Amino acid sequence: MRVKDQVAVVVGAGQTHGDEIGNGRASSLLLAREGARVLAVDRNLASAQETASLIESEGGEAAALEADITHEAHCREIAAAARERFGRIDILVNNVGVGLGDAEAAEVEERAWRRIIDTNLTGMLLTCKHVLGLMRAQGAGAIVNISSIAAVAAYPLVGYKVSKAAVNALTAQLAITNAEHGVRVNAIMPGLINTPMAIEGIVRQTGMDREELIRRRDARVPLGRRMGTAWDVAHAVLFLAGPEAKFITGAVLPVDGGQSLRVG
């Protein structure tokens, strides 16, 4: 019960259909198992409701909310809904990331670039913006932004890499400007993780055999030659949001099996 009686807002709490669990759903479930009341937020309301139902089936307390964080009004509604339902917000998890239509710099289309930046960066800023006022008034809060090792590793797609590198910078800026208010802000950089969004998305886009894709991704991971799971990301979220990390802010934590160590 490391976050007992705290209120956690998880943005991106739904997931793509697939054999494995996604980062947002795993984080929502783990925070609930550790005592948090969870507002599961997603563009897909049915998927957010499924996450909330899973929490409730385990005896936890949860609510679902449909929101698109590329619209500031929706971000304002997220904070208002959490305050109205639970009275406060102790934890915000920004589990957001898209890359559809991305390409290298000489080929990327402006429309795809803007969609990626609007979702991965601007949307994350806006959710923080509307939660920070409540956290500052409380004198406490923890924000965990989900970035990617694409931010620091060689990566061929310009929109996703730049947006996630900017998330790391945003995390540092929010951490230093909110430390005096008791609000901690940290980020996680997942590496190759076996989630439905990663696996099923690539299979749909490329037509690659699913098992061959998994084999190739596993082979790229230094630690054990196996991808991580959403639970690896969720446990990092719980740590950074919980009491063990009470003196940690501005950190960017790789959860990647050592992949980001391959430099040079």
Question: What residues are annotated to the active site?
Answer: 160
Helix 123-138 × helix 158-178 angle, to 10°: 10
Residue type, 181: H
Structure tokens at 125: 């800023």
**CB 94, CB 146: distance < 8 Å:** yes
**Cα separations in angstroms, 101 against 119, 159, 204:** 13, 9, 13
CA distances from 232 to 25, 62, 104, 173, 254 (A): 12, 22, 30, 26, 11
d(C-alpha 141, C-alpha 229), whole Å:
26
Contact 55/32 with Cβ under 8 angstroms? yes
Phi, psi of 22 (to 5 degrees): -90, 165
3 state SS for 80-114: HHHHHHHCCCCEEEECCCCCCCCCCCCCCCHHHHH
Q: What is the dihedral sign for C-alpha 185, 164, 16, 233?
A: negative
Cβ proximity of 224 and 183 under 8 Å:
no
